[in-house]
Structure 1
Amino acid sequence: MNKVMSNKWIIAFYVLPALLLITILIFIPLILTGYYGLFKWDGIGEMNFIGLQNYINALQDIKFWDSAWHSFLLAIFSTLSLAIYLMISLILASKIKGASLLRKIYLIPMLLSSVAIAQLWIKVFNPTNGMLNHILMFIGIENPPAWLADTSIVLYAIFVPILWQYAGFYILIYYAALKNIPESIVEAARIDGASPIQIAFRIKLPLIMGVIKVTIVLAVVGSLKYFDLIYVMTGGGPNGASEVMASYMYKLAFSSNNFGYGSAIGFLLLIITLIVTVVIRKVTASKEEIQY
């Protein structure tokens, strides 16, 4: 086996199909997106080369920076929510009764499409017939807000279904990592007199820190490019209060027929995401990984 894998031609034979697929489906579209951003183009007609003007306009576009700020807010909330998912996973991994049923319940949102989730939460947030406002009025709040029509709270209202949608995904990752910790390590800590809280924070969390770092990157990158649920629920409104970078790009390219400018926004989104990913990896990097 070692002799076979030391042959460069055999390695190239195995790697080439995947490399071609990645090139065709990922790298070429990315290059074309950056290229189209150099043109004034409606997506159908003649392409007029304007150089970097679309990129300059994007950097001077207040709406673009507002949408970028909303995406960063979602990334911050998604990262903070990981602490909640981690606590739930620690509880589920501690052999409580009904843990198996709870895991299945947490995974339900993952089985639904984003459009179905959006329609569900639109009904929940309905200002007149929605379940949420009925509950608020029941407990004595006479004038509950119009969640998806109020520019000051619509963004935070949308964050709730987004975080709910991916809760099961992160809980499952953390749960699998925690169950992979050898029971002998935990038992040794118990024999030494460690409390459940000490075991959780001084034994288990350090041992799965590599997984936690990966989920931070996934949460941030996923938030920066998030699109579908926000577009279905509000379309970026009202008055751009829930606009994110991906929805703003979509509107420019396909609703306003400004494909060149939309491509420039999309390429800037790629660059921002890459920069943020590199920064996160640098910040969370550690010299030593705990082995077990």
Structure 2
Amino acid sequence: MDKVMSNKKIIALYVIPSLLLVVTLIYIPIVMTGYYGLMEWDGVGKMSFIGLNHYAELLQDKLFWESVKHSFLLAVFSAISLLLYLAVSLVLSAPIRGTNFFRKVYLIPMLLSSVAIAQLWLKIFHPTSGVLNLMLSSLGVEQPPEWLSDTSIVLYAIFVPILWQYAGFYILIYYAALKNVPASLIESARIDGAGPLRLAMSIRIPLIAEVFKVTVVLAVVGSLKYFDLIYVMTGGGPNGASEVMASYMYRKAFRGYDFGYASAIAFFLLVICLVMTWLIRRATAAKDDIQYS
């Protein structure tokens, strides 16, 4: 095996197909998106070069910056929700009766498509026959809110199914990481008199810090480019109150037939995601990694 892996031709034989696939499916589309952002194009006719005009227009587009604000709000909520997912994972990883059942329950949203989840929550948020408003009415609320029609609350209402959709994914990641913490460390801490809170804060959480950093990047970047559930539930409405960058890009491309401007938005979104990833990794960089055997 060492002789085979030291042969540069064999290494190239293994690497080149994957490299071609990555270049074709990832890097070339990125370059083409940046190129289309320099063009005036309706997606069908002839393209005309306009330079950085689309990017200059982005800087003055109030609707676009509203969508940027909404995307960052979702990213903040997603990052904060990770603490809740971590707390749930700590409970599920403890030797408590019944946790096996709840581990399966939390995975149910992962098995559903975004369209199915959107349809489910559309029924829940329905102003007259929805479960949520029926419960509020039974509690004495005379005029329950119209969750998806009120511009002041629609954005926060739609965050709920989004965070619910990915709860099982992050809980599963944290649960797997916590199960890899050596039992000997836990037993030693218990012998020394550490309680559940002390075990969590001093042993469990510090030892999965790297996993937590990865999930922060996943949650923030995923939120910045989120699209499908918002598009199905509200389409970015009402009056752009739930518009995010990806839905605004889609609307410009496939409703306004301005593929050049939509490409500029897509490229700008890519840059924002790269910058946020770099900032998060810099902010969470640790000088010394905790190691255990």
Q: TM-score, normalised by structure 1?
A: 0.99
Structure 1 distance, partners of 2:122, 2:212, is: 32
* Counterpart position of 1:150: 150
In the alignment, residue 116 of structure 1 is paired with which amino acid? A
Corresponding residue for residue 245 of structure 1: 245
Shift of 1:98: 1.3
| SS of match in other structure, 2:166 | helix
Taking only aligned residues, the RMSD between alpha carbons, in angstroms, comes to 0.8
For 1:116-157, what per-residue CA distance to the aligned partner results, in whole angstroms no more than 9, with x for missing partners? 000000010000110000001111111110000000000000
Give the match for residue 230 of structure 1: 230
Task: Find the aligned partners of 1:3 and 1:61 in 2 and give their Cα distance.
Answer: 59
Indicate the residue corresponding to 1:186 in structure 2. 186
**Deviation for aligned residue 1:84:** 0.3
Bigger mean CA deviation after superposition, 7-16 or 143-152: 7-16
Query: What letter matches 1:284 in structure 2?
Result: T
2:290 and 2:14 map into 1 onto residues whose CA distance is 33
Structure 1 residue 35: Cα displacement: 0.3
Residue 257 of structure 1 aligns to a residue whose secondary structure is coil
Moved more, 10-19 or 156-165: 10-19
Q: Partners in 1 of 2:4 and 2:286 — Cα distance? A: 35
Counterparts of 1:197 and 1:60, CA distance in 2:
50
Cα distance, 1:10 vs structure 2: 2.2
Partner deviation per Cα, 1:236-279 (whole Å, 9 max, x = no partner): 00000000000000000111100100000000000011001100
SS in 2 for 1:150: coil
CA–CA distance in 1 between the matches of 2:170 and 2:7? 40
Q: 1:285 and 1:3 mapped to 2: Cα distance? A: 38
Distance 1:14 1:200 in 2: 44
Matches of 1:56 and 1:6, distance apart in 2: 51
Structure 1 distance, partners of 2:12, 2:189, is 48
Secondary structure of the equivalent of 2:272?
helix
| 3-state DSSP of counterpart to 2:226 | coil
Match of 1:172 in 2: 172
- Paired position in structure 1 for 2:281: 281
1:39-188 equivalences under 5 Å are 39-188=39-188
In structure 1, C-alpha distance between the alignment counterparts of 2:249 and 2:110, rounded to whole Å? 26
Aligned-partner Cα distance in 1 for 2:242–2:71: 9
What residue in structure 1 maps to residue 202 of structure 2? 202
Q: Secondary structure at the match of 1:96?
A: coil
Aligned pair count reads 292
Query: Bigger CA drift: 1-10 or 195-204?
Result: 1-10
Secondary structure of the residue that 1:237 maps to in structure 2? Answer: coil
Secondary structure at the aligned position of 1:163 is classed as helix
Question: TM-score, length-normalised on structure 2?
Answer: 0.98
CA distance in 1, matches of 2:10, 2:278: 33
| Matched letter for residue 75 of structure 2 | A
Determine whether 1:6 maps to 2:6.
yes
Q: Which moved more, 1:225-234 or 1:53-62?
A: 53-62
Q: State the alpha-carbon separation in 1 of the partners of residues 192 and 10 from structure 2.
A: 52
In 1, the alpha carbon distance for the partners of 2:91 and 2:84 equals: 11
Q: Secondary structure at the match of 1:223?
A: helix
Residue ranges of structure 2 left out of the alignment (5+ in a row): none
> What amino acid is aligned across from residue 41 of structure 2 in structure 1?
W
Distance 1:8 1:159 in 2: 51
Deviation at 1:101, TM superposition (A): 1.0
Instruction: Return the letter of the residue paired with 2:240.
Output: G
Give 3-state SS (helix, strand or coil) of 2:100's partner.
Answer: helix
Give the AA of the match of 1:205. I
Separation (CA, whole Å) in 2 of partners of 1:102 and 1:95? 13
